[in-house]
Amino acid sequence: MADSATTAQRPLEALTAKDYRSEVKPVWCPGCGDFGVLSATYKALATLQIPKHQVVVVSGIGCSSRSPYFMSTFGLHGVHGRALPIATGVKLARPDLTVLVMGGDGDLMAIGMGHLPHAAARNIDITCIMMDNQTYGLTKGQASPTSFLGHKAKSTPYGVFARPINPVLMALASGATFVARGYSARPNQLAQLIVEGIKHRGFSFIHVHSPCVEFYNTYDYYDERVTDLPPDWDRHNLRAAIDLALTESQVHLGIFYQEETPAYDERLRQAAPERKEFELRRFLEEKHM
Amino acid sequence: MPRDDFVIRIGGDTALGGIISTGENFTLAAARFGFHTFTFRTYPAEIKGGHAWFQVRISHRPVISIGDGCDVLVAFDQEAYQLHREDLNPYGVLIYDSDLVHPEEDKGITLYGVPFQRLARQELEFVRGTNTLVQGLLAGLFGLPLVALEEIARQRYRRRPEILQKNIEALRFGYEYVKRLEKRDGFWLGAADRVARLVMSGNEAIVAGALHAGCRYFAGYPITPASDILEAMAAELPRLGGVCMQTEDEIAALASAIGASYAGVKAMTATSGPGLSLMTELLGLASMAEIPVVIVDAQRAGPSTGMPTKLEQADLFHALYGGHGDFPRIVVAPGSVADCLRMTVEAFNLAEKYQCPVILLSDQSLSHRTETLEMPDVAALPVVDRLRPEGLAPEQYKRYEDTESGVSPMAVPGLDPQTYVAPGLEHDEHGHPVLIPSVHVQMTHKRFRKLETCRREIDGPEFATRYGDDKATLGLISWGAVEGSVREAVERALAKGYRVAALHLRVLNPLPLDTIRDFLRRVRKVMVLEVNYQGQLAHHLAAEVGIKPIRVNKIGGLPFTPGEVLAKIEEVVNHG
C-alpha cells in the first residue's frame, strides 16, 4: 500500500493526454494542422492535471471550432464569431473554471473580430487558441482575413485585394496580457505555450499557424520561415513585441508579450467585495417604499 | 361632492428644468402618505431641450390604469398649453405660468394663473425652486398634506441643510399661495389610509423579480427604454456576488448571458427591439443547446430606430417567430408593474424548467410608469432551479435524453462530473453532432415536447386572467401593459349594463389553448386589443385557434385609455 507521500508525488489517477480525448473522431482532413493543435491542447491539460469537468472549451463555427466535440471536457459549440463573449460569460460567472476558446481566422478575425479587443481590454481570464489556416475550410476554400494579398481563392478569382490582418499585432494592440505564436507542426512547443497561456491570469491569445492541406497548403512556407524568438527575449516589452509582430521575413514562435495585471473578475471582486444574500422584502422596503 | 380620483398632467420644455421631477416628487409624496398613484411619462428623444410631460392619476382608492385625458393640467409654457389643452376634460383645471402662458378664454374649465418663475425668483430668490413651489401649490389646491412633501425633501437633502431650507420655503410658499387664489374647482383628495406602499416602475420591478429569482449574471448594451435595468443591475449584482457587464453590443450581451447560464448561473439581458433583432441568432443557439436564459424586450415604437421614447407592442411577431429554423421559445408579457415582478420570477422559473430562452415583453410605458403596489407575498413567489444529473454515472449520462416531458438533466461544469458539449449543431442524446434525418426528427420533437409540457403548466387562470361577466356576449382579449385600461373599461361597461368579459394573456407562447377556447366558446364576438398596426396577437390567435377577431389597434406611441376601450365596446355592442 502506497503511503500518502508517494500518492501525492504520483497520483494513482494522474490524467494523461489521452484522457482529454472524447469518443467523437475528428472530422478533419488527413494532414490538417488542427490535429497538431488538438493534441497539444490535450497535452497541455494533462501537464496541468486539470480535472476534465473543470474545463470548458468554447468555440464558434469553422473546422477548428469543431474542437470541443473531440474533447472529454465540458464544451460549448456556439454560433459563428461569438465564442469570446460566450466564454466571457462562462468565466465571469464561474471564475473557478478553466476556459479555453478554440477557433479559426474566420471566426476570430472576420465575423467575431469585434469581440477580440473587448475580451482583451477587459482582461478576461481565458485562453484563446486561434488556429489560423488563412482560408475558410469548412465552406471549401474561400479567402479569409488572413489570406495573403493576391491569393486566388474561389471567392476571389482575381486575387485577394485586402492586406492580411496580423493577429498577433491585433492582440497586442487590443491590450491582451499574454500573446504568443505557435505552429501546428511543432506540437511540443505549442503545448508548452498553451500551458503558459492557461497559467497566465488574464486574457491569453495564442496565434497558431495551422495549415489547410486541402485549400491552402502553407506547410512549406512556414517550415522555411518559422524561427524561435531572439535570444534573451524580454517578454515584458510591448514596443519590442509590436516590432517583432511586424517582421515579415521570419515567423517568430514563442511568447511575444506578457503582463501581470488584475483580470476582470479580480478587479470586480476588489471593487465590490461585499457578498450578501438577497431578501426581496428587505430590498423592496429599502429601495421602493 | 368633489372628485377624489383624478389625473394631474404636467408639461413643459425640459430646458425649464424639473418638469418630470415635479410630478415624480408629488407622486412619491402622495404614495408615501397612502394614496394610490399611476404615472405615465414621455420625454423627447433629444439630448437637451424638447417638450416633456408627466402625469399621475391619484386617488385614495386603488387605481389600475392611466385614466382618461387629464383633469388638472399644469402648463409651464405655451407649448404645453397648446399640446395638452384638448386632453383636458370638461370641468378640468388649468394651472399655468401666467408670464409664459396665454390661455384663450375658456368657459368649461377653471383657470389659475400663477407666475411660477417670477415668484421663485423675486419672492424666494431661488429660480431652481420653481418646480418645488409648484409642488406646494398642487398640494394646497388638492389636499395633499404639506408634511408629505416636506418629508421627501428632508430625505433627499439630508446632507445639504441649506438647500433643504430653500426647498422647504418654496414648498410652503406654494402651499400658502393657494389662499391668494380663490379655489373654485371640483377636485379634492379624500383621506388616505396612511399605509406605506411600494412605488416602483416596471423596470425596477423587473430588477427586483430577477434578483429574487436568483439571477446573478446580467449583461446588456445601453438602449432606451431598457437602460435603467442595466444600471440597476450594475449597482446591485456585485454586492450579491454576481456580475453585471456592459458589453460591446447586444450580440455579446446575450452570448455572455448564455455562457454564464451554461456555467450554472442564472442569467438575463434586457434590451429593446433593435437589440432583440441583433440577438436573434443566439436565441436559436439557446434553444438548440437547451440553455436557460431570460431576455427582456422593453418594446418601443419601431421599425428600425423608430420612436425610442414611445411605446408600441409591435415586437410580438419577432418574439414568437424571429429566427431561422424551428425552435421553441417561451414568450411572457406582464400587464402591470406588480406583474413585472411576478412574471420576471416566472420567466426565470420557466427558463430553468424548460431549458430554453424566455422572452419577457414589456414596453416603454410599463418600463417607466410607476404604480403604487402592495408588498408582494414572497411565499407566493417560489424559485425553481434546473434539473441536474445527480447521482448518475458519467458513462450513463445523456445530456439530451429524449424524455417524456422533453426535459433532460443539465450538468453544470465544475460541479457535476458528467461532461458534455452544448451543441449548435443537430445532435444525438449525448450531444454529439449527428446530421441524419431520423435524429433531427427525434430531437426536434424532443425540444418542442417541452413546450407542450409547459403549455399544460400555464393553461389556467394564473397566466390567463378572466375579468367580467360570466354570461358575456362580447369578449376582449389583450396582452401586455394595456391590462389595467381593459379591466377598468370592462368594469365601467358592466356598470352600464353591457355583458362583456376580458381574457388577459400573460404567456403568449405556448398559448393557454384550453383557457382561450373555453373563453371563446362562451362569447359571441371577440375583440383583440393591442398597440400595433398589424394585429400581431390577432394573427397569432388566428393561426393557433382559428378565430377571426375584431381587431382594435392603436399606434402613435401612446397607450390605450379605459375610455377608448369602453368606446370600442359600446361601438361593437351597439352597432355590430
Beta bridge partners of B370: B201
Residue A12 reports pLDDT greater than 70: no
For residues B362 and B222, state if they share a domain. yes
Count of Cβ atoms closer than 10 Å to residue A288 Cβ = 18
For residues B61 and B140, state if they share a domain. yes
At residue B576, the pLDDT reads 72
At residue A11, the pLDDT reads 53
Query: Do the chains contact at B211 and A53, CB–CB below 8 Å?
Result: no
User: Strands (DSSP E) along A127-249, which ranges?
Assistant: 127-132, 135-136, 142-143, 178-183, 204-209, 226-228
Query: Do the chains contact at A283 and B375, CB–CB below 8 Å?
Result: no
For residues B232 and B180, state if they share a domain. no
Phi and psi dihedrals of A255, rounded to 5?
A: -90, 105
The DSSP element (H or E) to which B243 belongs, if any, is: strand B243-246
Average pLDDT on B390-407 reads 95
- Confidence label for B90 from pLDDT (cuts 50, 70 and 90): very high
Residue B251 sits in a domain of what CATH number?
3.40.50.970
For residues B571 and B538, state if they share a domain. yes
Cβ contact B229:B203 at 8 Å: yes
Helices and strands of chain A, counted as H and E runs:
11, 10
Query: Do the chains contact at A287 and B204, CB–CB below 8 Å?
Result: yes
Q: Using DSSP bridges, classify how beta strands B267-271 and B293-299 pair: parallel, antiparallel or unpaired.
A: parallel
At residue A275, the pLDDT reads 79
Q: Does B486 map to a domain?
A: yes
Query: Do the chains contact at A89 and B204, CB–CB below 8 Å?
Result: no
Q: How many CB pairs under 8 A join A and B?
A: 181
Beta bridge partners of B363: B299
The DSSP element (H or E) to which A253 belongs, if any, is: strand A251-258
Listed in sequence order, the residues at least 6 apart from A224 whose beta carbon sits closer than 8 Å to its beta carbon are none
Q: Is A11 on the interface with B (CB under 8 A)?
A: no
Cβ contact B481:B506 at 8 Å: no
Q: Is A225 left (phi over 0), alpha (psi -120 to 50) or beta?
A: alpha
Contacts of A58 in chain B (CB under 8 A): 259
Contacts of B216 in chain A (CB under 8 A): 93
At residue A2, the pLDDT reads 39
- Confidence label for A7 from pLDDT (cuts 50, 70 and 90): very low
For residues B124 and B44, state if they share a domain. yes
Question: Any idea which residue has 482575413 for its cell?
Answer: A145
Q: How many domains does chain B have?
A: 3
Q: How far, in Å, CA of A97 to CA of B146, rounded?
A: 57
Beta bridge partners of B463: none
Contacts of B251 in chain A (CB under 8 A): 82, 85
Q: Does B404 map to a domain?
A: no
Query: Do the chains contact at A93 and B421, CB–CB below 8 Å?
Result: no
Residue B19 sits in a domain of what CATH number?
3.40.920.10
pLDDT tens digits for B430-454?
999 999 999 999 999 999 999 999 9
Cβ contact B197:B374 at 8 Å: yes
Q: Is A239 on the interface with B (CB under 8 A)?
A: no
Q: Does B264 map to a domain?
A: yes
Query: Do the chains contact at B252 and A76, CB–CB below 8 Å?
Result: no
Of A52, A96, A271, which has the smallest distance from its Cβ to B419's Cβ?
A52
Q: Does B413 map to a domain?
A: no
Q: How far, in Å, CA of B566 to CA of B572, rounded?
A: 10
Residues 64-83 of A with CB under 8 A from B: 66, 68-69, 71-79, 82
Residue B220 reports pLDDT greater than 90: yes
Q: Does B367 map to a domain?
A: yes
Q: Does B357 map to a domain?
A: yes
For residues B68 and B116, state if they share a domain. yes
What residue in B sits closest to A69 (Cα-Cα)?
B421
Q: Which domain holds residue B320?
A: 199-380
Of B200, B204, B260, which has the smallest distance from its Cβ to A90's Cβ?
B260
For residues B255 and B179, state if they share a domain. no
At residue A287, the pLDDT reads 92
ipTM of the complex, rounded to two decimals: 0.96
Q: Is B55 helix (H, G, I), strand (E, B) or coil?
A: strand
Last residue of a domain, one of B181, B196, B211: B196
**Residue A19, C-alpha cell as written in the block:** 484522457
Contacts of B255 in chain A (CB under 8 A): 78-79, 82, 85-86, 88-89
B interface test, pick of A19, A53, A66 with most B CB neighbours within 10 Å: A53
Higher pLDDT, B315 or A6: B315
Q: How far, in Å, CA of B180 to CA of B194, rounded?
A: 29
A interface test, pick of B194, B228, B243 with most A CB neighbours within 10 Å: B243
For residues B185 and B273, state if they share a domain. no
Query: Do the chains contact at B263 and A90, CB–CB below 8 Å?
Result: yes
- Confidence label for A1 from pLDDT (cuts 50, 70 and 90): very low
A interface test, pick of B215, B249, B262, B370 with most A CB neighbours within 10 Å: B262
Q: Is A10 on the interface with B (CB under 8 A)?
A: no
At residue A4, the pLDDT reads 42
At residue A289, the pLDDT reads 86
Listed in sequence order, the residues at least 6 apart from B119 whose beta carbon sits closer than 8 Å to its beta carbon are B133, B173, B177
Q: How far is B505 from chain A (nearest CA, A)?
A: 26
Average pLDDT, chain B: 96
The DSSP element (H or E) to which B554 belongs, if any, is: none
Q: How far is B488 from chain A (nearest CA, A)?
A: 26
The CATH class that applies to domain A24-261 reads alpha beta
For residues B33 and B129, state if they share a domain. yes
pLDDT tens digits for A129-182?
999 999 999 999 999 999 999 999 999 999 999 999 999 999 999 999 999 999
Listed in sequence order, the residues at least 6 apart from A4 whose beta carbon sits closer than 8 Å to its beta carbon are none
Contacts of A283 in chain B (CB under 8 A): 208, 211-212
Residues 12-51 of A with CB under 8 A from B: 22-24
**Residue B511, C-alpha cell as written in the block:** 398559448
Q: How far is A282 from chain B (nearest CA, A)?
A: 10
Query: Do the chains contact at B255 and A96, CB–CB below 8 Å?
Result: no
Count of Cβ atoms closer than 10 Å to residue B436 Cβ = 10
Of B78, B84, B192, B195, nearest to B142 (Cα)? B192
Q: How far is A141 from chain B (nearest CA, A)?
A: 21
Q: Using DSSP bridges, classify how beta strands B507-509 and B330-332 pair: parallel, antiparallel or unpaired.
A: antiparallel
**DSSP state, B106?**
-
A interface test, pick of B265, B397, B419, B428 with most A CB neighbours within 10 Å: B419
Query: Do the chains contact at B239 and A68, CB–CB below 8 Å?
Result: no
Last residue of a domain, one of B138, B173, B196: B196
At residue B550, the pLDDT reads 97
Average pLDDT on B141-155 reads 95
At residue A6, the pLDDT reads 41
Sketch the domain layout of chain A as residue ranges.
Answer: 24-261
For residues B129 and B256, state if they share a domain. no
Query: Do the chains contact at A289 and B424, CB–CB below 8 Å?
Result: no
**Amino acid type, A251:** V
pLDDT tens digits for A241-273?
999 999 999 999 999 999 999 999 999 999 987
Of B208, B247, B284, which has the smallest distance from its Cβ to A284's Cβ?
B208
A98, B22, B103, B119, B254 from B113: Cα distances, Å: 69, 18, 9, 12, 52
Average pLDDT on B58-77 reads 96
Residue A5 reports pLDDT greater than 70: no
Q: How far, in Å, CA of B297 to CA of B319, rounded?
A: 9
What distance lies between CA B355 and its chain's CA centroid?
25
Query: Do the chains contact at A54 and B217, CB–CB below 8 Å?
Result: no
A134, A195, B220 from A189: Cα distances, Å: 21, 10, 39
Residue A207 reports pLDDT greater than 80: yes
Strand order in the sheet with B88-97: B110-114, B88-97, B70-75, B5-13, B51-59, B36-42, B370-373, B198-201
Q: Is B270 helix (H, G, I), strand (E, B) or coil?
A: strand
Query: Do the chains contact at A92 and B243, CB–CB below 8 Å?
Result: yes
Q: Does B444 map to a domain?
A: no
For residues B148 and B209, state if they share a domain. no
Q: Does B414 map to a domain?
A: no
Cβ contact A198:A127 at 8 Å: yes
Q: How far, in Å, CA of A109 to CA of A171, rounded?
A: 10
What residue in B sits closest to A67 (Cα-Cα)?
B421
Q: How far, in Å, CA of A274 to CA of A281, rounded?
A: 20
Of B211, B261, B423, which has the smallest distance from its Cβ to A77's Cβ?
B423
Half-sphere exposure of B456 (CA within 13 A, CB side): 6
Q: Is A270 on the interface with B (CB under 8 A)?
A: no
At residue B253, the pLDDT reads 98
Q: Is A1 on the interface with B (CB under 8 A)?
A: no
The model's pTM is 0.96
At residue B108, the pLDDT reads 86
pLDDT tens digits for A270-285?
998 777 899 999 999 9
Of B212, B260, B376, which has the smallest distance from its Cβ to A92's Cβ?
B260
pLDDT tens digits for A80-104?
999 999 999 999 999 999 999 999 9
Query: Do the chains contact at B199 and A86, CB–CB below 8 Å?
Result: no
Residue B265 reports pLDDT greater than 70: yes
What residue in B sits closest to A282 (Cα-Cα)?
B375
Contacts of A277 in chain B (CB under 8 A): 240
Average pLDDT on B79-101 reads 96
Query: Do the chains contact at B263 and A72, CB–CB below 8 Å?
Result: no
For residues B171 and B217, state if they share a domain. no
What residue in B sits closest to A273 (Cα-Cα)?
B239
